[in-house]
Amino acid sequence: MLYPIENKVREVKNLNGIWNFKIDTDNVGIEEKWYEKPLTDTVPMAVPASYNDLFTDQESKEHVGNVWYEREFIIPDSWEGKRIVLRFGSATHHAVVYVDGVEVVHHKGGFTPFEADITELVEKSDLEEHRLTVALSNVLDWTCIPCGEVITEDDEKHPDGYHYQETYFDFYNYSGIHRPVKLYTTPKNYIDDIVIRTDNDGKVEAFVFATDIIKKISVIDEDGNVVASTNEIDKAAVESDHKKDDEMYVAGLKVDNPTLWNPGAAYLYKLKVEGEEDTYTEEFGFRKIEVTDKEFLINGKAFYFKGFGRHEDSDIHGKGLDEALNVRDFNMLKWIGANSFRTSHYPYSEEHMKLADREGFVVIDEVPAVGMCFWDGKSVFGGDRVNKDTLKHHLDMLKEMYERDKNHPSVVMWSIANEAATHEEGAVPYFEEVAKTMRSLDDTRPITIVHTTGPEGDKVSQWVDVICVNRYYAWYTDHSHIEVIGQQLELEMNKWYDKYHKPIIMSEYGADTIAGYHKLPAVAFTEEFQCDYLDEFHKTFDKLDFMIGEHVWAYCDFQTKQGLNRVDGNKKGVFTRNRQPKAAAHLLRKRWNN
């Protein structure tokens, strides 16, 4: 899916701002057809943003079910004769969108974009102002990812109708229209999608899906020079069902002596596609990825992942897009010497990914497959938990993640799940299908899965290229006894390598730390303990030649649901939630900049 851009034939109108908002307390709005007329009894709501932390009452913050958004928009007269598309960057988690009371699109999945062609609807309308209404549900169940379930307590110990959303992941289930809402135009015959395949040798394969007739494809460098161009463009059969109305155009180009996209030294070219009516320009980079039994190579050089697991999370905004926060985050990552991060546990905003391209950060892009593991021994795969409907949605999310992020040079690996119960027999056919689908979508990038299961029990890593492991020795086990870390870490990592002979990234490790809490000798939750804790892991990493990276959990403190082991959120950040360093940030800065 192409990001909305403006050029001489395309226009973009931003619909962000203050919308009308209403909580559907009894979840009756769809049945009562609230979308057929303007909403009543509304309050102001910011878009994009999570709505949860904008309220001051607990009932609104923790509402389970539907909420409603509404605003009006105007189509300029200058847009007459153009194709008009309504696009959402994301809406968490289930959205039904109406224009003037007519459903135009529905979408399941809270972290990928979706859109609707509303040309015919507005052309037939004589309204000067159009009404945009969104019914949005935050309910998670076992048919979607992330996984969850709504628990209802119907007994004498609880009030009538008592229920709550249960989740099996450690971050707050923020909800809302989290990313930009835009109207954009194209000519009636248009460029639908572009796939760019490159290596580090200057060769470019361009696959263009369009209803327009493609006439010319060019490559432009950062100085604006056209460094390759062709009019020799072939047609090919379109196999994708959702692009069945398109023609596929294929062209090959060659850039002599290309400047490569390298970690920390990004260089972005532009591919300009010109049709009879439409034109579109997409950024890309030249780089090559290879994986051996002990190395991850970018442009032929061994790359060591230094960075974090992270969250899109901040005070007030929740998971809502905040461009200023994104800039701050990338500056902090550069300050500390990080070169990479994982989009734990869902694809981050398109704006975030564009910054990663531009700033030269390496990204492991993760599908929102989290919550697929119980910690009490209960089975997850099969039965009425993870099932065929979960798998279908999982595959849909893989496709949407790929289609959105396929051309980003920063994305060097796909993560197909986080902390799933890969020791269960039911996980075997499930993840075989997931891995097969990911490879069918993209055979140019390696794939991984992030483990909580140990090497003895894991049954699925034969289908991935890199082993990612989350481990919290001396925190959730042998709590506070950091003297066990080195022995336990080395023992387990050797077992992983001996079983699969694949490189390993420690994708999570860390300890909760209260900023400003100090004690000597160090005890758990102090800044001194976090430093000592991380240092013990690093001593062992440096001994193992098959370890190719370290991603500390976490970049900064973040919000979670309430719980006995969470005091207003997860405090494993090496930065506070407002992006200020704890002592561990200085320890990592010294290590990573060495």
Catalytically active residues are: 419, 508
Which candidate, 141, 148, 100, places its Cα nearest to that of 123?
Answer: 100
What residues pair up with 553 in beta bridges, in sequence order?
309
Q: How distant, in Å, are the alpha carbons of 5, 10, 284, 580 from that of 13? A: 10, 10, 25, 35
Measured at the alpha carbon of residue 456, what is the angle toward residues 543 and 149, in degrees to the nearest 5? 110
Helix (H, G, I), strand (E, B) or coil at 392: helix
How many CB atoms are closer than 10 A to CB 250? 15
- Angle of CA points 320, 47, 167, to nearest 5°: 45
* CA–CA distance, 225 with 465 (Å, rounded to integer): 38
Rounded Cα gap, residues 210 and 217, in angstroms: 13
76: buried, middle or exposed (CB in 10 Å: 19+, 13-18, 0-12)? Answer: exposed
DSSP 77: G
Q: What six digits make up the tokens of 568? A: 């207003």
Q: How many CB atoms lie within 10 A of CB 561?
A: 16
Measured in Å, how far apart are the chain's first and last C-alpha atoms?
40
Tokens found for residue 450? 């992030």
Burial of 463 (0-12, 13-18, 19+ CB in 10 A): middle
For every residue of 443-490, which 3-state class applies, written as one string?
A: CCCCEEEEECCCCCCCCCHHHCCEEEEECCECCCECCCCHHHHHHHHH
Q: Given the DSSP bridges, would you call strands 163-167 and 340-342 parallel, antiparallel or unpaired? A: unpaired
Whether 116 and 95 have beta carbons less than 8 Å apart is answered as no
Q: What is the DSSP letter of 380?
A: -
Concatenating the DSSP letter of every residue in 147-216 gives -EEEEE--STTS-TT-EEEEESSSS----B--S-EEEEEE-SS-EEEEEEEE-SSSEEEEEEEESSPEEE
